[in-house]
Amino acid sequence: MHRSLTALALAGLLAPVHALDQPEAATTRTEKQGQLAAPVKRFAVTAANPLAVDAGVDILKAGGSAVDAAVAVQAVLGLVEPQSSGIAGGAFLLHWDGREVQALDGRETAPAAATPGLFLKPDGKPMPIREAISSGLSTGTPGVLAMLAEAHLRHGKLPWARLFEPAIRLAEQGFAVSPRLNELLSGETALRNDPIAAAYFFDAAGAPLAVGTVLKNPAYAAVLRGIAANGVKAFYEGPVAVDIVRRVKAHARPGLLTTEDLAAYRPVVRAPLCNDWRAWRICGFGPPTSGHLTLMQILGLLDTQPAARAASAITADWMHAYAESAKLAFADRAQFIGDPAFVTAPGGDWQNLLSLAYLRQRGALIGPRASGIATAGNPAPVQQALAPQADQLESGTSHISIVDAQGHAVAMTTSVESAFGNRMMSDGGTGLAGGFVLNNQLTDFALNPVGADGKPVANRVEAGKRPRSSMAPTLVFDRKGQLLMAAGSPGGPVIIHYVAKVITGTLAWGLPVQQAVDLPNFGHFNSGSLIVENGALSAEQLADLRGRGHQVVETDLTSGLQVLLRVPGGWVGGADPRREGVVRGQ
């Protein structure tokens, strides 16, 4: 089966009860071979748009820290790549200061008035996912700005206001509409229903702005000037907050967000999860994101399979073992993982999901043929009275990797969830053209709060709760504690597979980082199909896998890996050819 992925197309390729989508459709591929192939010693930055990378380079050249550069990159991404992330979204940031890894959680939260039945219709059934996304109901309290302010307080070097200068300048002077932004706008329908978005992104005839059109955003510039001058209070209180809430409540399916929710938002500084894998130590985020736990389960389960551990390339044997490992990992993800303020880890410790004994027990379930739908394991003696969450649409996202002149690093994955969020914009109450996209992160919660057995789902909506994510910002170290890699990707739940691929390709198989990023994409979600990128496998490999009982679907898989890797002589990087990112350094 060979198809091209557009909105919800992938969902239709999976079993009827499993819905999966990517955050953004595929657009023109831009090859990146040779990009930052020669090591740089002073600093390096990679992100999903060249203008955003330029902003990071500007800050690093001025003596800024990795966190300073991340603030500048994010501010520009919200302007030039609004479909993926922005100031009204959320993010997870891993920081290395040369001594320890710190995890800063800027995930959105559910409004104080939210209940588990937020997305249920009067008949008690969940509303269709697209209705839930394109609504005020889906908008959570944004967290990225509050989190970045906390990170800057701890690790910043340059003045806060200096970090917004590149984005303000671009917003006022204008930037050229990129091919990817144009192509994604061409497929948009719901976005045209928002008056601000319709006037900003489309011409008078309703056509998306052409590639190269110089687009100015005076509303965004004005909002950023307020944040630069007065801190994030200018976003979470006052006219900007009032305008966000007004627009959320004015939708035909109004949301519950209030100005009190915005004023009360606080980021969370968490302990990272760090785990040994072969010769390396891999650090990531624990819940509310499932990224690191599920990624490390897959890598650990693969290592229980001798043929997979010995592999040095994608083969049918390796892909079979990967698919079966992913099924088991995603079964545990659906059963156990949610906001740790609301959901207790199995046995009280998330590391129980990664214990060697548990992984060996689970790995013993992998046989020579494709299994059916996997069920969650029992990683701790105490069983939880929870139901697994059914698959549903998950989206989002952009990734930033930065290493500064002091060797400090940031891996940050940032999102408004679906492409263009909830398809609404706010001008921050300025009355000027443009503005910023609002998030739809609450649809990362389970739309149905209970399972088929009537038990509650761990990732159900609750007031103040952070929805489960798949984001997987990752820092990798050698066993001496030297930082080797900063990595991450957008892609909804496929993020986990994208990051697993690049870690395997670079570290286990020894590929140059850009070649590892370029490797074909693939994944399994413990649902109907093993999905592989168009052209990823030979006809013989496809026949082999199907002969083992796998339903294999070829489709577009639009990763956005942004990776920095230490090599002798400095840092090199890889930027995903499936998006518009670049790597630059000095």
Tokens of 261: 């929710």
- 18 within 8 A of 390, measured Cβ to Cβ: yes
39 half-sphere exposure, CB direction, 13 A CA radius: 9
SS3 394: coil
Tokens of 136: 């005020």
Q: Which residues pair with 176 in a beta bridge?
A: 214
- 560 within 8 A of 27, measured Cβ to Cβ: no
Q: Which of 304, 397, 443, 555 is catalytic?
A: 397
DSSP 54-77: HHHHHHHHTT--HHHHHHHHHHHH
The length of the chain in residues reads 586
CA dist., res. 574 & res. 485, Å (int):
11
Q: How far is CA 170 from CA 78, 80, 89, 283, 437, in A?
A: 11, 9, 20, 35, 17
Pick from 530, 560, 438: nearest CA to 26: 560
Active site residue 258: no
Tokens of 69: 């550069």
Q: Which residues pair with 575 in a beta bridge?
A: 562
CA dist., res. 39 & res. 249, Å (int):
51
Tokens of 510: 């020894």
**Plot region of 262 (φ>0 → left; ψ -120 to 50 → alpha; else → beta):** alpha
According to DSSP, residue 442 is labeled: G
Residues with Cβ within 8 Å of 249's Cβ and at least 6 positions away in sequence, in order, are: 136, 255, 257
SS3 190: helix
CA dist., res. 280 & res. 439, Å (int):
36
* Angle of the 66-80 helix axis to the 218-230 helix axis, nearest 10: 160
Residues assigned a catalytic role: 397
